Structure formats: structure tokens, C-alpha cells
Chain A
Amino acid sequence: MNFLNYIIRRLLLLIVVLIGVTLIIFALLSLFTPEQRASAFIRDIKQLEHIDSIIKTYGLDRPIFVQYFNWLREIFRGNFGWSTTVSRPAIEAFKNFLPNTVELALFSAPFIILGGIWLGSVSAVHHDKPIDHFTRFLSIVGWSLPTFWFGLVLLMVFYGYFRGLFPPEILGYKAQVFVESGEFVRYTRINTIDALLNGRFWIFVDAIRHLVLPVITLTTIQIALVMRIMRSSMLESLGKGYVLTARAKGAAPRTVIRKHARRNALIPVITVSGWLFAQLMGGVVITETIFNRKGLGWWWAKAATQLDIPAVLMAVLFNGALFVVINLIVDLLYAYIDPRVRLR
């Protein structure tokens, strides 16, 4: 019962956060002209002609709070506005772009998290030895790489030099045509998974080839995040009494590291992994733009630079929800894994 209470309380927080993030956006919106804001209420391209009547109907020249409630009302009716950058309703664009972002997140998160855990523990075990300095240096170099530049250099090598080995975008032309034809059932709209479900192995391979460079980019840059948390938490746990006890009892060094030190050191990694996953799902703006992968980040980057307000509001709502839900999952995982943490 206590447990259920906790979850309900946290989901109530979700509403508070969503109201908060949208209020901040509306405060910024008050800087724009009523015409620019009218687009947030348009459902169909034909309505663009009646922009004056839209300004009247929704009271866009009225105080910002009145407008905020009007906008909320529209949201509850399921009208998220018209996204001018992609010329379709924002909610439809969202459903269309989400699978591509999820696919990239699903493929890069394991590399980043497992790689980071491994590098971090190697680094901690060899604290202040050359191997520690070396792995830390490499991860900091990765962290310092400008995403947009690194992506371009990868394209120069793997698309230019290796003659289109790992191309940009999501699918090759042939695969794209086939995916959109009637023969291919789109269960999840995630290409790699759908290809396997359809038993079309060549489409799976094609999708993977398009995924390689974005995954390399994200892994190289983000791995430092997990590695640094793992390293410091491993260093702390290596200094703990139970590790000393295990060593004193004559346990093999490998066992001590694996069973005693690493397991406890993994706990803080959960938090950073949750945060990382929220980042990956919330739209990886630069990576998607460079490789022309049409996902949420690609759409929102375009939207933000063209003041496509319905799309930006969508970005804010989705990221806010993601933030709260992933934090909740992380907390529940903590309680499950670590008996010292009790839910109150």
C-alpha cells in the first residue's frame, strides 16, 4: 500500500512538472507576436488563411494566463497544433519520428552503459597506474569531441573513403521503398525489429549499416559519463571494510573485485544510466541532424530554429514526462536492488 502511495505521489509530481515546463515556455512565448503564436492552434494547413479569426477565437491578444488555459483546453481535446516545419499535425509527426529515436537509443544505450561500467572498473582497480590515466584520458577526449565535427569526420572516412560502407540517413533507397510497400508489416515502426519480425534479413542489415555511425558517435562521446561515475563509486567501494574483510579471508582478487566491490559500486550507475536514457530518448539533436536521421531530435532542431511553437511545446512536454517517469523507474530500481534504501 505504501508502495502504491509512493507511485501515485510521484505521478502527481508529473503533472506539476508538466505545468511548470509549459508555463516557462509560455512566459517565453509572450515575446512573440500573436500571428506567430496562432500557429500553435492550427490543426490543418487550410486554416492558415483564417489566421485573424484564429487570433480572435483563441484570444491570442489577451493576457498570457488566459491563453495558457486556452492552450491547455486544446491539449485535453487532443489538439497539439500544427507543426509548420513538417507540415502535419504535431501529434502525428511525433508518432512518426518517435520510432527512429527509440531505435537509436536502444542500440547505443547498451554500448554506453556496459562500456562505461567496464572502463570505469578497470580504471578504479588500477587507480593512478598508467592504465587508469590512459582510459581516463581517452574518455575525456571523447567527452570533449564536438558531436557535429566528429560525425562529419566519421562520414568522411566511412562514407567517403570506404565508398558508402556506413551511409547516413535511416534506410537505403531500395529498403525504404520495400518498407513502405504493402508486403512489409510495420508492427513497431522500428525498422530493425520490424525487419526481423517480417523475416527480411537484408532490411535488417541495411538498417544496422545506417545505425553504425550514429551509435559510434554517441558511444564515444557519452561513455565518459558512465565511466566517471563507475570509477569514483568503485574507488569508494574498494576502500570499504567488507572488501578488506574479503581480502583478509583470502578470497581471490578477481572474486573480491567482481562480487564484493563491483556489485555495490554499480548502484550509482543506475542513476546516471537513467539520466542518459532520458537524454537519448528526448531527441539527440546534433547526431540526428548530422546523419540526417529523421527522429525527434532532427524534427525539434528544425522546429526550434524556425519557431515552430507546437513542435517545441511537444518537445518540452515529452522531455518533462520522460524526466519524471525515468526518475521514478530509477528510484524503484534502487529500492529493489539496494535493501538499505527503503521507500518512505
Chain B
Amino acid sequence: MIFLKKRRIVLDFEQHPRLKEFKFSFSKILRNPLSLIGLSLIFLFLMIALFTPLIAVPEKPEEPFRIPHEGYSVVPKPPSPGHPFGTTTKQYDIFYGVIWGTRTAFRIGFMVVGSILVIGLVVGSISGYFGGIIDEIIMRITDIFMALPLLILAMAIVTALGRSLDNIMKSLIIVGWPIYARTIRGSILTIREEDFVRAAQAQGAGTLRVIFKHVLPNAIYPVLILASLDIGAMVLTAAALSFLGLGAQEGYADWGQMVSLARNYIVGPQGQPFLYWYVVTIPGLFILFFVLGWNLLGDALRDIFDPRLRRK
């Protein structure tokens, strides 16, 4: 450690203001109990997603997302040694479904939010940096999106494109990008006028260099917080669309669909109202904890980066 510290580059590294800020923020995350819970939940799900094939060994390795089922009996069976969480209707194994469903959830969250982030960054930067007529047009489009019933629109888009998980993701990207473009534009507008940007421009830096090196790194925090909150929200919306029957075909490892499969077994027969509790409760709890993890983290980040509360 000592010999490392003697090197100039390490000393520079430690004093770099952006890194110092990052260290400060990270220490705040670790001191906040809520964000710690959030981080641990995300870490847990990340571990499940990493070691999925070891936790729930697929019977057919070529299509691991298909939940195995024994027979076609519609009546769910309670947890047993072979099926730790029981089986849902048509004997799909709940344990296998929720474990592989973790990968589906991460895929939905990262793909949707990642795509929206990229589209929002490009559109928002163009809008905010150049201004003028382009800005006006883009902002009016985002205004109109604000006035649309987005869930109904997303449902119609999935139906039009064909019912599948991929189309759910596409529809969420179509309805989701405007708010990102708007947020990025807003923060770029304030930063564009800062002295350090003027200085860079005066020194003859090119447009792209100014945007990527000086403006975006300072404008990106609000949208990153939005993104961390949205991973949960998007997984939640996708699950709702899946639940309404717009998702993958039956038997695909997807939490929303598993709750949907449980629909006819909410209330048990006379005298045993909780007979089928596991069918609906377990997949729902997986959705809840996954979303909760991201929301807790995003919420803490929002407080930490709030300039009005920072360093108080």
C-alpha cells in the first residue's frame, strides 16, 4: 500500500473532485439503513440471477426458461420435498419459476431502463444543448406524452405488436423515453450556462467534447436516480402487463405470469380459505422484494444527491 501511495498517479486519483464526491456519496449510502436494506436486496437477487442454473437445475438446458411441469392437473399442490414452494395450476413448479424469473426480471429492468436512458440522453442532449426549433419540437412531443394514459397506450402497443415479453419491453421503451429526455434537457440547460462550460468553449473545445466531457458528467445524476427508481417501476409495469395476459406464452419463467396463473386459486374451498396461499403469495413476494430493493436504493440516492439537503 505504501509503495502505491508514493506514485503520483494515485495521489491525483485521490484528489480528483469527482471521485471525492463519489466517495462522499457512497459513505452516505452505507450510513443510511434504508439504502443498506435496498442494496442487500439487490445483491441477493443478483446472486440468484448469477447462480440460477445451480439453484434450480433445468431439465432441458436448451430452453431453461420453460418451467418444468408434471402432468396437467389444474389443482395446485402444496410445498413438498420435490417442490419446495409447491406447484401452481397445471403443475408448474413454483420454485423453478421464481428462481429463473429473477433473470427475466433483471433482463426486463436493465433492457428497458438501459434503452430509455440511451434514447433520453441522445434526445435530451440535442434538445438542451442546441435549443431553438429542435428543442421546441422535442419538448412539445414530450408534453403530449405527459397527457397520454401510458399504461393503456402500452397495452394497446403490445396487443398490436403481438403478445410477448419482448413486445412488452418495446412498448415500455416507447412510452418511457420522454420523461428522461425532459429530465436530461432540464439539467443540461442549467449546466450549459456554467462558467466551466464557457471556459471550455472559449478554449476552442469541439461541441461533442464539451457535451461528453463537461456537460453530461455533471448533468447525469438526476437521470441516474430516476433510472434506479425506474428499474423497479418498469419490472412492476411489465409484471402487470404479463398478469393481464400480454406476456410470454404460458409456462415461461416470469413472475407476473405466475401470479396470473394463480388467479383461479385465490380463495380456497369452503372452510379452508388459505388452502392455496402459496400459489399467489410466493411469486408476488419476489416481485415485491425486487422492486423494493431498487426503490429503497433510488430513494436514498435521491436524498443524497438533493442539493438542498446535501452536506447538511
A289–B145 CA distance with the chains assembled, in angstroms:
24
Main secondary structure of the interface of A (DSSP, over half): helix
Whether A305 and B159, one on each chain, are in contact in the complex, defined by CB atoms closer than 8 angstroms, is yes
Identify which of A28, A152, A301, A312 contacts B244 (C-beta below 8 A).
Answer: A301
Binds B, one of A69-77, A105-113, A316-324: A316-324
14 contacts between A and B (CB under 8 A): A146-B236, A146-B287, A148-B240, A148-B259, A153-B281, A155-B267, A156-B277, A160-B266, A160-B267, A160-B268, A161-B273, A232-B306, A312-B153, A316-B149
Q: Tell me if B60 counts as interface (CB < 8 A to partner A).
A: no
> Among B141, B148, B262, B274, which residue has the most Cβ atoms of chain A within 10 A?
B148
Q: Identify the stretch in B85-93, B180-188, B197-205, B291-299 within 8 Å (CB) of chain A at 4 or more residues.
A: B291-299
Contact in complex: A304, B274 (CB < 8 Å): no
Q: Which of A4-12, A52-60, A93-101, A135-143 is the contact stretch?
A: A135-143
Known interface pairs A146-B239, A155-B266, A156-B266; A140-B292 also in contact (CB < 8 Å): yes
B151 touches A21 (CB 8 A): no
B267 & A304 in contact (Cβ 8 Å cutoff): no
Given contacts A305-B159, A315-B152, 16 further A-B contacts (CB under 8 A): A17-B147, A140-B299, A145-B288, A148-B259, A149-B243, A149-B259, A149-B283, A153-B281, A160-B273, A161-B273, A161-B274, A232-B309, A301-B244, A304-B153, A304-B159, A312-B156
Is A17 a contact of B266 with CB atoms below 8 Å?
Answer: no
Interface size on B, residues (CB 8 A): 53
Q: Does B79 belong to the interface (CB within 8 Å)?
A: no
Question: Known: A146-B236, A155-B267, A156-B266. Is A282-B149 also a contact (CB below 8 A)?
Answer: yes
Seen from chain A, the residues whose Cβ lies within 8 Å of a Cβ on chain B are: 17, 20-21, 24, 28, 31-32, 133, 136-137, 140-141, 143-150, 152-153, 155-156, 159-161, 228, 232, 235-236, 239, 282-283, 285-286, 289, 300-301, 303-307, 312, 315-316, 319-320, 323-324
Chain B residues within an 8 Å CB radius of A140: 34, 292, 295-296, 299
Check A320 against B240 for contact (C-beta < 8 Å).
Answer: no
Verify if B140 is at the interface (C-beta below 8 Å from A). yes
- Give B15-55 as 1s and 0s: 1 = Cβ < 8 Å from A's Cβ atoms: 00000000000000000011001000000000000000000
Give A31 to B167 CA distance when docked, in angstroms.
15
Q: Is B179 an interface residue (CB 8 A)?
A: no
B133 neighbours in A (Cβ, 8 Å): none
Query: A289 contacts which chain B residues (CB < 8 A)?
Result: 244
Residue pairs across A and B with CB atoms within 8 Å: the count is 148
In the bound assembly, the distance between CA atoms of A239 and B311 in angstroms comes to 14
The answer, yes or no, to whether B157 is at the interface (CB within 8 Å) is yes
The answer to whether A24 and B152 touch (CB under 8 A), given A152-B262, A156-B274, A235-B309, is: no
